[in-house]
Amino acid sequence: MMTRMTLLLLLFAAGMSAAEKKAGILFTVTNPAPISRTMETVSVDLQGVFLAYPEWKNDAMAVFQAKTEIVSQSIDNDQDGIDDELIFQASFKPNETRQFELYRRPASSVPPSRQVDVQYVLPRQDLAWENDRIAFRVYGSVLAGNVDNGTDVWTKRVRYPIVAKWYKESEGSLPGKDTYHQDRGEGADFFSVGRSLGAGSAGILWNGRLIQPGLFSHHRIITNGPIRLTAELIYTGLRIDTAGYTVVKRITLDAGEQLNRIEEEYLSNFDRSPLKLVAGLVKRANTVITRNEASRFLALWGSTNADSVNGSLGTAVLFPAGTAIGFFDDTLHYFMSREITQGRKIMYYSGAAWSRMGDITTKDAWEQYLTMTAVRLANPLKIAFKR
């Protein structure tokens, strides 16, 4: 999963010989949970590695298993010009430990095909992103129409990227007549957002009223594949009582996942803490809602739209363990809520699954995926370096 994996660096006496360096850095990854994990993202703290092995500090790193290079991705999370983590994906049996090695990245490495993509799309000023299972977008311009900060779902049924292609094919379409609203074999945008929170965006509940931050005003793309995408959005239109707020929202999606990791921070010169954050799912016809307190998720499953040929769509919000949560509804949304403090980052997960993609095809399968995601979050993979 996209959570920060536990990193156990076993520090040794300083210094390694040239022969040792050439041999690579051995490490193990352990699945501490009694569940299988399929192509889960493993995160190696590069700064921790370079602290323990300073002679590798200026090297671009790659991950190997049984002398074969695994697709990996270096990420500079704080955009200071220094890579912070190296990620790769691997599968694990229940309670399994597997061994890997770090080497200098070979000059002959062939760039892998990208499983994720994020695009800032002009002239609409949308931010749209996808992985090999699902796609999403949020709006940044009044060109988008009568919308707010809601998350739109693009239901795709192909593994390759479609976001840029669908926008390109729709250029010149009349307002509301974009070609990506029709399934031409790859999927379509069947989802209706309007001024709602859509598929798991958040707002603030103040005096019994949902307050949303409007459209994003700034963006930056932090990383874009091949395994993970991360983008940051800034909203400046949120007003709570007489206080103006800036909302910083960071979205992360990995290959193979249905859920985005959402990190949000609410900033203001006027403190109205505690605030009640609500993440919402817009209500849809012919759907069933599930509120799971034990696994801390809210899940909606049912008809994608009025045409049964388009299958079923699930949307969900999941809050990690550690804070009190609540469930409630209004006329437009199902909500999950929690209290937040101004200036402190909060994290939650939201996303969707479409039955016609073939990965998750039933309500039970959707809820099982969410339950297992909660287990994975509570039991992060453990990394130990050794010599």
**Which residues sit opposite 244 in a β-bridge?**
239
Q: Residue 14's pLDDT is what?
A: 34
Whole-number percent of the chain with pLDDT over 70: 91
How far apart are alpha carbons 262 and 343 in whole angstroms? 16
Alpha-helix residue ranges (DSSP H) falling in the chain? 18-23, 46-52, 163-170, 363-378
Q: Do domains 6-107+378-386 and 117-377 have the same CATH topology?
A: no
Q: What class is the 117-377 domain?
A: mainly beta
Q: What class is the 6-107+378-386 domain?
A: mainly beta
Comparing CA positions, the residue from 252, 281, 282 lying closest to residue 264 is 252
Comparing CA positions, the residue from 23, 22, 30, 25 lying closest to residue 12 is 25
Q: pLDDT (tens digit, 9 = 90+) per residue, 241-276?
A: 889 999 999 999 999 999 999 999 999 988 888 899
pLDDT surpasses 70 at 141: yes
Q: pLDDT (tens digit, 9 = 90+) per residue, 72-108?
A: 999 999 999 999 999 999 999 999 999 999 998 887 7
pLDDT surpasses 70 at 12: no
CA angle 179, 249, 253 (to 5 degrees): 60
> What average pLDDT does range 229-241 have in this prediction?
96
Cβ count within 10 A of residue 271? 11
How far apart are alpha carbons 260 and 158 in whole angstroms? 19
Read off the amino acid at residue 329. Answer: D
> What average pLDDT does range 187-198 have in this prediction?
96
Pairing of strands 333-340, 275-282: antiparallel
> What average pLDDT does range 8-37 have in this prediction?
66
The terminus-to-terminus CA distance of the chain in angstroms comes to 27
Read off the amino acid at residue 159. Answer: R
Which of 187-222 are b and which e, b meaning 16 or more Cβ less than 10 Å from the residue's Cβ? bbbbbebebbbbbbbbbbbeeeebbbbbbbeebeeb
Give 217's pLDDT tier (boundaries 50, 70, 90). Answer: very high
Per the structure block, which two tokens stand in for 116? 């994720």
Residue 52: burial class (beta carbons within 10 Å; 0-12, 13-18, 19+): middle
**Which residues sit opposite 228 in a β-bridge?**
254
Tell me how long the chain is: 387
Domain coordinates of the chain in residue numbers?
6-107+378-386, 117-377
Q: Residue 71's pLDDT is what?
A: 95
Q: Residue 2's pLDDT is what?
A: 47
Phi, psi values for residue 285, rounded to 5°: -70, 150
